[in-house]
Structure 1
Amino acid sequence: MGDGGGGGLDVVVFPWLAFGHMIPYLELSKRLAARGHDVTFVSTPRNVSRLPPVPAGLSARLRFVSLPMPPVDGLPEGAQSTADVPPGNDELIKKACDGLAAPFAAFMADLVAAGGRKPDWIIIDFAYHWLPPIAAEHNVPCAVFLIVQAAAIAFLGPRWANAAHPRAPLDFTAPPRWFPPPSAMAYRRNEARWVVGAFRPNASGVSDIERMWRTIESCRFTIYRSCDEVEPGVLALLTDLFRRPAVPAGILLTPPPDLAAAATDDDDVDGGSSGDRAETLRWLDEQPPKSVIYVALGSEAPVTAKNLQELALGLELAGVRFLWALRKPAVGTLSHASAADADEFLPDGFEERTRGRGVVWTGWVPQVEVLAQAAVGAFLTHCGWGSTIESLVFGHPLVMLPFVVDQGLVARAMAERGVGVEVAREDDDEGSFGRHDVAAAVRRVMVEDERKVFGENARKMKEAVGDQRRQEQYFDELVELLHAGGGEINDEKYC
């Protein structure tokens, strides 16, 4: 594997304090290190301790720096990531994140004062709008790496487009005026509440969209966990909209066997025991090919007890085999659900009635290993971008149950590509769904004749994203851009 051109770089990476961000940043770091570049991964002590291990061959080029997590009134003791607070309550994490500015400035000053090599680049997440000015004091350029669906960033749009075309809440239920027609990209009414909230200041004093705008505007270019095969034409649109190069890193899926130990945005951040892995995988080994639907709604989706009840009854009505990686709703402590907790959220008698064809597992589930099993025929997912990519890699059609952030837009895009269906919801502010909605969607993808169409479309996507040579080429081109200094910036604002 080449270094992508030129000599070795020295790169600092700093992800947002969420494991759905830290894991892709770690994969980006490992790929840089594997190409002969030195990488410093910055986070806080507890987050660094919970990351999966780095392959021994990369440890000499990949070091970890922990900045002290500043105390914030109302933030639980020991909370250092979004996994440590209830879903939707990450505003205090953002406030604490802003308190990392002084420690980061000290880290940079100490690095320079010690006579060490100054970084060639700092790659940052959306939250760190305060960092580029610190980097500029040392003449270090920044790039921003956004791990969500690229089309979601285009939907949110740049500052100039939002100024030219202001949107009221219901306007987010239609494609923005800067999207090329025809497009199905839009939020549902219940999802629009999240996106409207992203435009409003939160407890940190800064809105999420303002963070993103300031960060992108202060960086040389923007990196996306995407590629043209997954999102045709979107990166070119983003380059035009934001007047910055929009650069694909590829899908950044961790190759086996490293996957077995790695957590994803849908795994417990502390990993799991080999016994947990063996039990779920052994059960799958005993099931017929393509007979099981894997169910996982992530570790941080705002799922209610009512949602879980209806989902369970829908799986029962659908009559198919299932493996359900269940998380407690509204996790607000620093520990995760234990197997004993399942009965608290499931309908009375559910596990007895589905025994033999269904497994509910509240321990850690190795998601990518599960998706790689021959018994799995589909994935019922919240449409987190990482989970969606993992499903596409293995060619599984989707049953989609989105909740927040970019999940609704991911679901629209995947439905438009014909790789699955959404669970029907009420068109109201709550977006409620029932057991019959779940059962109907599951049966369309797993049982009825339509499943063949979804399966064929999913296989086509698998072929498109499974070209490892092309995926490596995307990353090599990214490294070449880092060597070249980041390309041209056009700050002209259009209206």
Structure 2
Amino acid sequence: MDGSQKQLHIVMFPWLAYGHIMPFLQVSKFLAQKGHKIYYISTPKNISRLPKLPPDLCSNISFIQLPLPHVYGLPPGAESTSDLPIHQVPYLKKAYDKLETQLTEFLKKSSQVKWIIHDFAPYWLPPVATQRGINLVFISILSASSIAFFGPPSELLSGRRQRPEDFTMAPVWLDYPNNLAFKLHEMVGHQECMDSVSDFERVGTLLLSCKIVALRSCYEVEADALRVLSKIHQKPIIPLGLLPPSLPSNEDKENENWEAMKTWLDTRRDKSVFYVALGSEVSLSQEFMHELAFGIEKSGLPFIWAVRNRPFVEGQLVQDILPSGFEERVSGRGLVLRGWAPQLRVLAHSSVGGFLTHCGWSSVIEALGFGLPLILFPGASSDLGLVARLMHGKKFGLEIERNDLDGSFTSDSVAKLMHGKKFGLEIERNDLDGSFTSDSVAKSIKRVMVDPEGEPLRANAYAVKEIFSSVELSNKYLNEFTRSIEEFPPSDTEV
């Protein structure tokens, strides 16, 4: 920290989902490295899941555990979305809202806190902060394109889009060529995880009240969306960079099952294996899981599939969601993992050549950071469908302009390619109910992995590897974000 710069006391308050908790921790570490005091607030179980801090950051980051209040309908011990099927997430939101009392008490005892960096959910936070002269920063871990699609607060709070059908077309304020729209089944599915206070009301209220909107994005990837966001919000829109994660160290607990997986991967040809993971929150029906499994089997290609068995799927207790005999039939070329998989290690292995993904923004960033093309199978929650459209794009076969002699390229050439946005192929599904066939799954896998028609797509994914994996680029954006907070005019409201 600059000698003339005062240390800031900052609260970090993420939503209760692993895909939110980890990016918030990355930002916390960066701010702590700059000398600021961070209070990272979450529930005990979520904090216990976090990796250990480097010794040099321990004095600047304090983990504040707030016990999650009980609400009727929330299973005992559930403290994050990964602990629940989608239809029970509304109960988690109700419990999260009840953290208001504990957070307010913490702020009363912590008079030096002048910033709260929050997520999409705590719509009740603005009056709590205003009363104590605290500024708010809204960090969105979604893509800039997704946030731009949802529009200004006026649309979110009382706009024309009220029915699921209203979200199946690109909005008028996206004034650049795009294909951003939900499929009907995606919006219907997302409604299952909203409680009496809709996600749109939560986000709209917070966008109105925050001083800064920060996003997990960068101009090299989403220049048009960031420009639109500045236009419709009329407040600082600050990219954080893509926050590429680091591979875990060899001492990490995640290493326990890795050696056997690595041995299996080491026997495979380069780029021959595709990895399948549907995230910690996506729950498919048994029918859909069977159809997906049959498609993976029909592809005939080697694969690793991280299968997360949930105790309940669509309210039904299930012992094993895979088809009977599936693992025996594919045992010569497929590896099925139960539960948690070391995703970064798998994606980084030279034998892995593609990723069948649920289209979480974090997973997409990880895959493209290793230059891997995407087989897009979006879940029906959050902005997963929009990410699929963003990666599938309208055009096919664009390549980044590179120097013929040394292969170098410019950020402008990357931005030019991103207008085409063809880094993955979306598995064909029925727009109304999300159904699909095993043949469409197999066809998409083969096209992305081995078919000649997929070569431009594979080249495009590899070409943006340097952008999506660049810690230097992300740190540049994080530096700018840090300065924006440090230099922001003090609040007029005094405690």
- Counterpart check, 1:208 vs 2:208: no
Cα separation, 1, equivalents of 2:18 and 2:37: 22
Contact 1:4 1:477 in 2 (8 A): no
Residue 364 (structure 1) aligns with? 340
Residue 438 (structure 1) aligns with? 441
Cα separation, 2, equivalents of 1:196 and 1:486: 39
Q: 1:235 aligns with which of 214, 226, 233?
A: 226
Q: 2:390 aligns with which of 413, 416, 422?
A: 413
Residue 128 (structure 1) aligns with? 122
CA distance 1:172–1:164, shift in 2 (3 Å): closer
Residue 319 (structure 1) aligns with? 300
- Counterpart check, 1:380 vs 2:356: yes
User: Aligned runs of 1:161-180 on 2, under 5 Å?
Assistant: 161=155, 163=158, 165-166=160-161, 168-180=163-175
- 3-state SS of the aligned residue for 2:86? coil
Residue 347 (structure 1) aligns with? 323
Residue 77 (structure 1) aligns with? 76
CA distance 1:166–1:351, shift in 2 (3 Å): closer
- The CA deviation at 1:53 is 1.7
- 3-state SS of the aligned residue for 1:426? coil
- 3-state SS of the aligned residue for 1:89? helix
- The CA deviation at 1:434 is 1.5
Contact 2:244 2:471 in 1 (8 A): no
Residue 415 (structure 2) aligns with? none
Contact 2:309 2:339 in 1 (8 A): no
- 3-state SS of the aligned residue for 1:231? helix
Q: 2:429 aligns with which of 425, 428, 442?
A: 425
Give the letter for the 1:385 counterpart. Answer: W
- The CA deviation at 1:315 is 1.1
Residue 52 (structure 2) aligns with? 53
Q: 1:186 aligns with which of 181, 195, 204?
A: 181
CA distance 1:184–1:427, shift in 2 (3 Å): same
State the TM-score, normalizing by the size of structure 1: 0.87
**Which of 32-41 and 158-167 deviates more?**
158-167
1:56-87 CA-partner distances (Å, limit 9, x unpaired)? 22112111001121111121112222222212
Residue 28 (structure 1) aligns with? 27
User: Aligned runs of 1:238-249 on 2, under 5 Å?
Assistant: 238-249=229-240
**Which of 224-233 and 11-20 deviates more?**
224-233
Cα separation, 2, equivalents of 1:46 and 1:59: 19
Q: 1:119 aligns with which of 79, 101, 113?
A: 113
**Which of 85-94 and 13-22 deviates more?**
85-94
- The CA deviation at 1:282 is 2.2
- Counterpart check, 1:452 vs 2:455: yes
**Which of 41-50 and 384-393 deviates more?**
41-50
1:463-489 CA-partner distances (Å, limit 9, x unpaired)? 23334332211000000100111799x
Give the letter for the 2:452 counterpart. Answer: D
Where in structure 2 are there 5+ consecutive unaligned residues?
Answer: 394-420
CA distance 1:168–1:439, shift in 2 (3 Å): same
Where in structure 1 are there 5+ consecutive unaligned residues?
Answer: 113-117, 262-271, 489-495
- The CA deviation at 1:7 is 4.0
- The CA deviation at 1:232 is 2.6
Give the letter for the 2:224 counterpart. Answer: G
Cα separation, 2, equivalents of 1:481 and 1:231: 20
Cα separation, 1, equivalents of 2:186 and 2:85: 18
CA distance 1:444–1:487, shift in 2 (3 Å): farther
- The CA deviation at 1:354 is 1.3
Cα separation, 1, equivalents of 2:114 and 2:17: 25
- Counterpart check, 1:398 vs 2:398: no
- The CA deviation at 1:196 is 6.0
Percent identity of the aligned residues?
40
Q: 1:288 aligns with which of 257, 264, 269?
A: 269
User: Aligned runs of 1:215-234 on 2, under 5 Å?
Assistant: 215-234=206-225
Q: 1:389 aligns with which of 365, 374, 379?
A: 365
Residue 148 (structure 2) aligns with? 154
Contact 1:74 1:92 in 2 (8 A): yes
Cα separation, 2, equivalents of 1:53 and 1:193: 39
- The CA deviation at 1:31 is 1.4
- The CA deviation at 1:160 is 2.2
Cα separation, 2, equivalents of 1:286 and 1:314: 24
Contact 2:153 2:205 in 1 (8 A): no
- The CA deviation at 1:325 is 0.5
- 3-state SS of the aligned residue for 1:356? coil
User: Which structure has more RCO (C-alpha within 8 Å, separation ≥ 6)?
Assistant: 1
**Which of 237-246 and 21-30 deviates more?**
237-246
Cα separation, 1, equivalents of 2:303 and 2:291: 15
1:90-117 CA-partner distances (Å, limit 9, x unpaired)? 11111111111111111111223xxxxx
Cα separation, 2, equivalents of 1:38 and 1:385: 28
- 3-state SS of the aligned residue for 2:375? strand
Give the letter for the 2:169 counterpart. Answer: A
Cα separation, 2, equivalents of 1:283 and 1:371: 14
Contact 2:12 2:39 in 1 (8 A): yes
What is the Cα-based RMSD across aligned positions, in Å?
Answer: 2.4
Residue 283 (structure 2) aligns with? 302
Contact 2:73 2:88 in 1 (8 A): no
Cα separation, 2, equivalents of 1:372 and 1:128: 36
Contact 1:4 1:480 in 2 (8 A): no
Contact 1:3 1:37 in 2 (8 A): no
1:370-403 CA-partner distances (Å, limit 9, x unpaired)? 1111010000000011101111111100000002
Give the letter for the 1:125 counterpart. Answer: D
Contact 1:287 1:375 in 2 (8 A): yes
- The CA deviation at 1:121 is 1.2
- Counterpart check, 1:275 vs 2:275: no
- Counterpart check, 1:18 vs 2:12: no
1:231-282 CA-partner distances (Å, limit 9, x unpaired)? 2321121121122222111111222345984xxxxxxxxxx55331222222
Give the letter for the 2:120 counterpart. Answer: F
Give the length in aligned residue pairs: 460
Q: 1:256 aligns with which of 241, 247, 250?
A: 247
Contact 1:393 1:466 in 2 (8 A): yes
CA distance 1:437–1:486, shift in 2 (3 Å): farther
Contact 1:87 1:300 in 2 (8 A): yes
Contact 2:153 2:208 in 1 (8 A): no
